[in-house]
Structure 1
Amino acid sequence: MNDKLTRFLFEDRAVRGEVVQLQGSYQSVLESYHYPKPIAQLLGELMAAASLLTATLKFKGEVSLQIQSEGAVKYAVINGTHDQRLRGVARWDEGLQELPTEFSSLFKKGVLAITLAPKDKERYQGVVALDKDSLAACLENYFLQSEQLLTKVYLATSLDSAPKAAGMLLQIVPPTSETYQGGDNKDFEHLAMFADTTKSNELLELNPEVLIHRLFNEEDIRLFETQDVLFECDCSKARSAQALQNVAKTELLTMIDEDGDIKMDCQFCHQQYVFDAVDIENIHNDNFDAFNSDGRIDERTLKH
């Protein structure tokens, strides 16, 4: 199964939809760590959700879905771009011998922050409590509270043999940005009734066009060109160098004297970048052309 996102529109009902199926990109994220099953499932749902959300963007930029909690799950984040490049990572309480299997039991004071980051424009962030029985229900609540949009979200994962994740979204298409879409809507309710019959295995296995036709066979639907979804980490030595600029030059050189070099690992893909004394001189002389920098800074873990 190729990683694909399929967008569709109900011609006569002002409702849009999306279906995403992930395998290779999901596997790439899981290869970063030995994730317990509940964490792996959570990451799959977050990846599918991030892909669905990025498909609704009307700008070039990124969407970040970030969970923070004081419970079994401490931190989880999936970043997605407008062109469907995904990456992610999670942290959990590794002192627990067994993790809860129910979604709501994974978190204590858990929140989901959704950050929209258009290129060259101000970021926008919405936060919703993780107080529902599923991530899908929390996302529906987010859209209703923050965007005033009626939305249905369906998410599924499978860790049998080759891991797979999938999702489907139905959402009102607002006629104007000022129009409130959170109230009753008979067209949306009609379509949601059929969407609610979707089974997880159908979402994971069926060709999206077949699934859409099976669910909504009496509707006039416009299908858009499918879009590839990929795992991609945009880390680089240049971006790691930008982070090192915030550390005093003397401190960096002392670390090199003691350890021979400085190693930095990307938390998303585990690519390691090594810096020597010459690199430190370039960094503190603002010579980032030596690293082919594009100026963006990513989160890194500094080892010394």
Structure 2
Amino acid sequence: MQDSDSLRGFLFDNMPIRGQIVTLTSSYQEVLKRHEYPSNIACLLGEFLAAASLLGATLKQSARIILQARGSGALKTVMAECASDNRVRGIARGDFKVCATQTGFKDLFVDAVLAITIEPLQGQRYQGIVPLEGDNLSQCLMGYFAQSEQLPTSIKLAASTQESAGILVQQLPNHAPLEQSTTDWQTINLLIKTLRAKEQLHLTHNDQLYLLFKEHHVRLFDAKDMRFQCHCSRHRTARALISLGEPEIREIYLQQELIDMQCEFCGALYSFKKPFIDALLRDQNKALR
């Protein structure tokens, strides 16, 4: 597909509305191949990846955005991240044998919450959390934006086990008469809802926008390449190990000479010998004095 692994912004010339459109293929497959997810969980994770990509593109600052749902049912967590340089990664955790038999969105997420976290390269970390309410992720995200009093936002997501896609539009502040702005937004919002999943997954971005908005003047900007890349490192993994606490770490080393830790996102394996961890613990204890 022409727009594989790309994200493009667009803008309406005659109304204060902007948008983003994304398709993920190879980057999505790089996430899936590291785990054996049932098809329904793979598609759900694909929607999270597309959504994180769209939300990341709306940020004005260089930051990493994390989209995460946590519940108490068989599906415990679905998380997707997108960095400001268009790197994506994601993961799902749960009892996948049970999850494979649960086809409904509400069946998968029991007593769940949706969290959106923004981690800027400079500045303070922000997190918003709302109950996960809706029949699909698109509805949940629109509910999040409505509750958090942000820009009016409409989003439509789709995924198969081969590709994932999404489109997002937002109403911008403007000085036009309120009645006209409201009418314009309602029109675009209704048009977004007519987009079908197979159209999102198989049409080019240009064709999708023409199909939806051929009666309006839309400017489509240059594509940004999306890719899978994990930002794990030996240092970060060691810090995660240290967070277990010194007593537990000492207990592990009594039973084995080497601690292996594997990144859940990319599968990278990090091995730590006791002298290395001893040095980190000493540094940590000095910092606390």
Corresponding residue SS for 1:241:
helix
Q: Percent identity?
A: 40
Deviations 1:62-114 (A, max 9, x none): 11111111123111111111222111111123462743111122111111111
Partner residue, 1:171:
170
Match in the other structure for 1:297: none
- The residue aligned with 1:222 is 219
Distance change >3 Å, CA 278–CA 43, structure 1 → 2:
same
Equivalent residue runs for 1:1-304 within 5 Å: 1=1, 2-94=4-96, 96=98, 98-159=100-161, 163-175=162-174, 185-246=182-243, 252=249, 255-256=252-253, 258-284=255-281, 286=283
- Deviation string 1:23-74 (CA, Å, 9 cap, x unpaired) is 1111111112111122111101100100010000011111111111112311
Residues 151 and 266 (structure 1), Cα distance of their counterparts in 2 relative to 1, 3 Å cut: same
- Given that 2:39 and 2:100 are in contact with CA atoms closer than 8 Å, whether structure 1 keeps it comes out as no
TM-score (norm 2): 0.88
Higher RCO (CA 8 Å, separation ≥ 6 residues): 2
User: For structure 2, which runs of at least 5 residues remain unmatched after alignment?
Assistant: 285-289
Q: TM-score, normalised by structure 1?
A: 0.84
Shift of 1:248: 6.0
Distance (whole Å) between structure 1 residues aligned to residue 275 and residue 195 of structure 2: 58
Unaligned 5+ segments in structure 1 are: 288-304
Q: Which moves more between the two structures, 73-82 or 238-247?
A: 238-247
Give distance in 1, aligned partners of 2:163 and 2:97. 27
Instruction: Tell me, yes or no, if the aligned pair for 1:29 and 1:89 is still in contact at 8 Å.
Output: yes
Shift of 1:282: 4.1
What one-letter code is carried by the residue in structure 1 that aligns with 2:204?
Answer: N
Larger helix fraction of residues: 2
CA contact (8 A) 1:253 1:280 kept: no
| CA 136–246 in structure 1, closer or farther in 2 if over 3 Å, else same | closer
The 1:213/1:184 distance shift into structure 2, 3 A limit, reads closer
Q: How far does residue 184 in structure 1 lie from its aligned partner after superposition?
A: 7.5
1:107/1:247 CA distance change after superposition, 3 Å: closer
Deviation at 1:255, TM superposition (A): 3.5
